[in-house]
């Protein structure tokens, strides 16, 4: 039987990586892209591009057209990441109502499987030193920040429908980094600022960073092996920002960064930094919420995903190298060492 993959957020970092991995299979890929986005990079793959917004239910029907005699798998990646503390209408509409729309359409068109990309932020944080594992109930009041609250609400809806028969699986990725990021994700921004000498000081703290390719692979594994109504954390391990920068350093000619900003100072200046970068229309190096995240307990366990899905994340050193190589190939950073040698 023919298999159709319906992928939302297909033009994003994770969505693109999933399309790239699936494109080598004999399947039909239907990629949902926002109307104002340029899907040029997806055109290198054998996939059908649909323009639409998950907030508009009528935009979703074409994704399922003529799928009656096929096996349909929905991978819902679309979502808005936010650093705000209060829930805004836009973020709620995309993350909660958009997810409800996709789930309802998956039920209406009798999809065989739905993979919902939630976040580790939807899981309540435990005390430092304690290991965070999967939970089966989500309470937005127990998590901090707009993004986490909306992801908790959406996850609840997916699990509610799974209990009623929908074959749905929830994925909780940690901090996604890696190649193929045309935007400004965690590592991409860090590399850009390091190479452009805009990164002059570091803050203490770190997070569990995971390679986008490993998350994509874990999602594909969940299609076959993920159990209905189950959640899976796709993480790697904690790495400090200092260590991440140390991994970047050998690829650049600049001198090591020795200045470490005290956390109290970073917290004090974060609102000003957010305002400054907002005016310049660029993402800030750190925000109040990102500082909270870097200091939070990110001791996530991917033991369940490893045991049930066969999930195995790679060494972050490889992720850093591949990301820098890809950014050089795309002309986003200069090949400093080669230039100096020449």
Got the DSSP string for 4-46? Answer: EEEEETTTSHHHHHHHHHHTTSS-EEEEEE-TTS--GGGGGSS
pLDDT-above-70 percentage for the chain: 89
255-267 mean pLDDT: 74
pLDDT at 338: 43
Q: What is the pLDDT of residues 60-100, one digit of tens each?
A: 999 999 999 999 999 999 998 876 667 789 999 999 999 99
> The tokens of 231 are what?
């959640």
Reply yes or no on whether the pLDDT at 288 is more than 70. no
Does the pLDDT at position 341 exceed 50? no
All structural domains of the chain with their residue ranges: 3-183+208-238+298-314
Beta-carbon contacts of 217 under 8 Å, excluding residues fewer than 6 positions away, are 21, 311
102-130: per-residue pLDDT in tens? 999 999 999 999 999 999 999 999 999 99
- pLDDT tens digits, one per residue of 231-249: 999 999 999 999 999 999 9
The whole-number pLDDT of residue 235 equals 98
- What token pair was written down for 16? 């693109």
Per-residue pLDDT tens digits for 129-169: 999 999 999 999 999 988 999 999 999 999 999 999 999 99
More confident residue, 216 or 271: 216
When pLDDT is averaged across residues 257-274 and rounded to a whole number, the result is 69
User: How many CB atoms within 10 Å of residue 38?
Assistant: 11
Largest CA distance in the chain: 64
User: Would you state the pLDDT for residue 256?
Assistant: 83
Predicted confidence band at 283 (pLDDT cuts at 50, 70, 90)? Answer: low
Q: Percentage of the chain surpassing pLDDT 90?
A: 73
| Choices 1.10.10.60, 3.40.630.10, 3.30.930.10, 3.40.50.720: CATH for 3-183+208-238+298-314 | 3.40.50.720
Q: Could you give the CA distance from residue 280 to residue 278 in angstroms, rounded to a whole number? A: 5
Most confident of the ranges 199-208, 233-242, 274-283: 233-242
Which whole number is the average pLDDT over 283-294? 67
pLDDT digits (tens, 9 = 90+) for 210-225: 999 999 999 999 999 9
What the block records as the tokens of 28 is: 């039909």
pLDDT digits (tens, 9 = 90+) for 15-36: 999 999 999 899 999 999 999 9
- Give pLDDT, residue 267: 65
Output the average pLDDT for the chain: 90
pLDDT tier at 342, thresholds 50, 70, 90: very low
């Amino acid at each position: 039987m023919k298999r159709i993959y319906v992928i939302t957020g297909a033009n994003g970092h994770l969505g693109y990586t999933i399309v790239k991995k699936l494109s080598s299979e004999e399947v039909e890929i239907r990629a949902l892209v926002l109307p104002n986005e340029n899907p040029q990079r997806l055109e290198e793959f054998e996939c059908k591009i649909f323009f639409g917004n998950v907030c508009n239910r009528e935009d979703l029907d074409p994704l399922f057209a003529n799928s009656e005699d096929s096996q349909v798998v929905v991978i819902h990646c679309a979502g808005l990441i936010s650093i705000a503390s209060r829930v805004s209408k836009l973020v709620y509409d995309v993350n909660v109502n958009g997810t409800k729309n996709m789930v309802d359409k998956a039920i209406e068109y009798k999809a065989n499987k739905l993979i919902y990309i939630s976040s580790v932020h939807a899981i309540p944080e435990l005390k430092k030193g304690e290991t965070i594992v999967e939970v089966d109930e989500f309470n937005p009041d127990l998590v901090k920040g707009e993004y986490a609250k909306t992801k908790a609400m959406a996850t609840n809806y997916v699990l509610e429908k799974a209990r009623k028969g929908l074959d749905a699986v929830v994925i909780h990725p940690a901090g996604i980094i890696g190649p193929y990021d045309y935007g400004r994700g965690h590592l991409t921004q860090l590399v850009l600022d390091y190479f452009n000498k805009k990164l002059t000081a570091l803050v203490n703290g770190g997070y569990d960073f995971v390679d986008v390719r490993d998350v994509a692979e874990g999602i594909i594994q969940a299609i076959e092996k993920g159990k209905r109504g189950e959640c899976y954390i796709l993480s790697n391990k904690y790495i400090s920002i200092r260590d991440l920068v140390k991994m970047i350093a050998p690829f650049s000619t600049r001198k090591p960064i020795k200045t470490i900003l005290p956390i109290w100072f970073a917290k004090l200046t974060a609102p000003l930094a957010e305002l400054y970068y907002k005016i310049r229309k660029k993402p800030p190096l750190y925000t109040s919420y990102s500082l909270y995240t870097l200091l939070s307990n990110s001791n996530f366990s991917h033991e369940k995903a490893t045991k049930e899905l066969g999930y195995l994340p790679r060494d972050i050193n490889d992720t850093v190298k591949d990301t820098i190589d890809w950014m050089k190939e795309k002309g986003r950073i200069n090949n400093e060492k080669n230039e100096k040698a020449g």
